[in-house]
Amino acid sequence: MDKFVVNGPSKISGEVSISGSKNSALPILAASLLFDKKVTIKNLPRVKDIDTMLKLLKSLGSKISFKNNKKIAIISNSKKNNYFAPYSLVKTMRAGILVLGPLLAKFKKAKVSSPGGCSIGVRPIDIHLKAISKLGVKFKINKGYVNANAKKGLIGSKIRFPKISVGATENTILAACCAKGTTIIKNCAIEPEIKDLTNFLRAAGANIKWIGKRTLKINGVKNLNSISYSIMNDRIEAGTFCVAACLNGGSLKIRNFDAKIINAELEILKKIGAIVKISNNMIEVKGPKKIKNINYIKTREYPNALATDMQAQFMVLLLKANGKSVIQESIFENRFMHVPELRRLGARINIKGNKAIIEGTTELEGAELMSSDLRASVALVLAAFISKGTSIINRVYHLDRGYEKIENKLKKIGVKIKRLSR
Ligand code: UD1
């Protein structure tokens, strides 16, 4: 298993370019199953989760060729596709469940492994199943598999999500876009990745309209047209680099990214004293000499507040703040796995329920650490490069799931990091 060796402290400066969004690419790749015609998807990030989704599509019968060092995938589906998504592929990446909607739309049946829980929480799929069942699908769960059947095909309906869910919104859109008749979906997630998915489907001829802030109207179409589409850039990667710039009074130009998408996070950075300049497709962040504490931040669904996928990175930032800060995690029930590891560096953080109380201005010293999940592991890298001495970060395969060549990008901006492969 690969590990990172990081020597700190280092101050970062320079420029970084943001890669394609993993969380946008995953549902769009799953959507390719809906097409009979060729689909070209550009700006794919070269990360493990994308490889896993491509393997899953191949196992379902898609023919895939690549261009531009695998950043462009050209996908075509033969009539011979199958509708079985095995545990071996879905277990490593929960987004595997996103093939359920498209498979049902195409074959009126699907057998998809249930993704199970993961380290950050239970992460059930009840909301996905309940919404899709409204379109005329019957489900049976057997031996860890979701067996789904819609004998009469998918039929439009009215759906209201009991809770905002990114994955359930995507799966339901994918199921409804070629269903017979009209589907109204209320209380949708409106993350930028969902807008990217609806833009993609619309560009291919789907009849999808946002008719309210969180309400979608979908008139099912018989088929979708061949399309070439470029995935949006990764807001979590961009946000992570913005935080990195602030940790040690560094400064960074973040290229290839529309700042509006991470407005909530940039507002918090301004509150801690960072100088943020926005120009066309670029963000310039200069970290303050003294980081101000934040009394209270809560993670929430987009666009209201800090993204849960940025919580761990902001916690590292607040370790360096002048005073006490509180972060409340409201999306996942077990998303403080990075805390015991940060404590190994000397961090003073108390957990009370879903709140982390962070004592600021802590001097951190390098130590050996263990990654537990994707965003926790990037937070450990950030913490390691502001710690004095050497840190070793184990199990960086978590990080490889979602960050493209992060060590190369960090090296270029002044972080002393190297990968040890076995
Ligand atoms: C997606 C993102 C992930 C991000 C999360 C929240 C991808 C591939 N992953 O995950 O990076 O952290 O959104 O922004 O895009 N829930 C249920 N039942 C369900 C579905 C969800 O109870 O059927 C719960 C979850 O356990 C969680 C909350 O709803 O507590 C939100 O989860 P959801 O928005 O669905 O997250 P994902 O789509 O899995």
Domain positions in the chain are 3-19+233-420, 22-230
Q: Closest ligand 1 atom to the C-alpha of 309?
A: 12
The pLDDT tens digits for 337-384 are 999 999 999 999 999 999 999 999 889 999 999 998 888 999 999 999
Q: Is the beta carbon of 165 within 6 A of some atom in ligand 1? A: yes
Q: How far is the CA of 76 from the centre of ligand 1 (A)?
A: 29
Q: What are the tens digits of pLDDT across the range 109-135?
A: 999 999 865 677 777 899 999 999 999
Does 3-19+233-420 match 22-230 in CATH topology? yes
**CB of residue 262 inside a 6 A radius of ligand 1:** no
Q: What is the residue with the minimal CA distance to atom 1 of ligand 1?
A: 166
Structure confidence at residue 19 (pLDDT): 96
Residues ≥6 apart with Cβ < 8 Å to 6: 366, 381, 384, 385, 387, 390, 391, 392, 393, 415, 416, 417
- Decide: 11 in ligand 1 pocket, CB within 6 A: no
State if residue 198 touches ligand 1 by the CB under 6 angstroms criterion: no
pLDDT of the residue at 116? 64
Q: For ligand 1, say whether the CB of 128 is within 6 Å of any of its atoms.
A: yes
Using the mean position of ligand 1's atoms as its centre, give its distance from the Cα of residue 187 in Å. Answer: 14
Report the nearest-CA residue for atom 32 of ligand 1: 165
Report the percent of the chain where pLDDT is more than 90: 91
Contact 72, 66 (CB under 8 A): yes
Answer whether residue 101 shows pLDDT above 80: yes
pLDDT at 361: 83
Q: What is the pLDDT of residue 268?
A: 97
pLDDT at 117: 58
Cα-to-centroid distance, 331 and ligand 1 (Å):
8
pLDDT bucket at 405, cuts 50 / 70 / 90: confident
| Predicted TM-score (pTM) of this structure | 0.97
Question: How far, in Å, is the centroid of ligand 1 from the Cα of 193?
Answer: 13
Joined together, the tokens standing for residue 232 give 């949006």
Q: For 233-282, how does the pLDDT look when each residue is reduced to its tens digit (9 = 90+)? A: 999 999 999 999 999 999 999 999 999 999 999 999 999 999 999 998 99
**CB of 123 closer than 6 A to ligand 1?**
yes
**Sheet (strand 158-160) strand order:** 158-160, 182-186, 215-219, 207-212
Strand 215-219 with 207-212, pairing: antiparallel
CATH 3.30.1280.10 is right for the domain spanning 3-19+233-420: no
Give me the active site residues, please.
118
194: alpha, beta or left, given left = phi > 0 and alpha = psi -120 to 50? alpha
Question: Which of 123, 197, 298 best tests ligand 1's pocket when mutated (most atoms within 8 Å of CB)?
Answer: 123
In CATH, what is the architecture of 22-230? Answer: Alpha-beta prism (3.65)
User: DSSP letter at 80?
Assistant: T
User: Is the pLDDT at 333 greater than 90, yes or no?
Assistant: no
Confirm or reject: Cβ of 259 under 6 Å from ligand 1. no
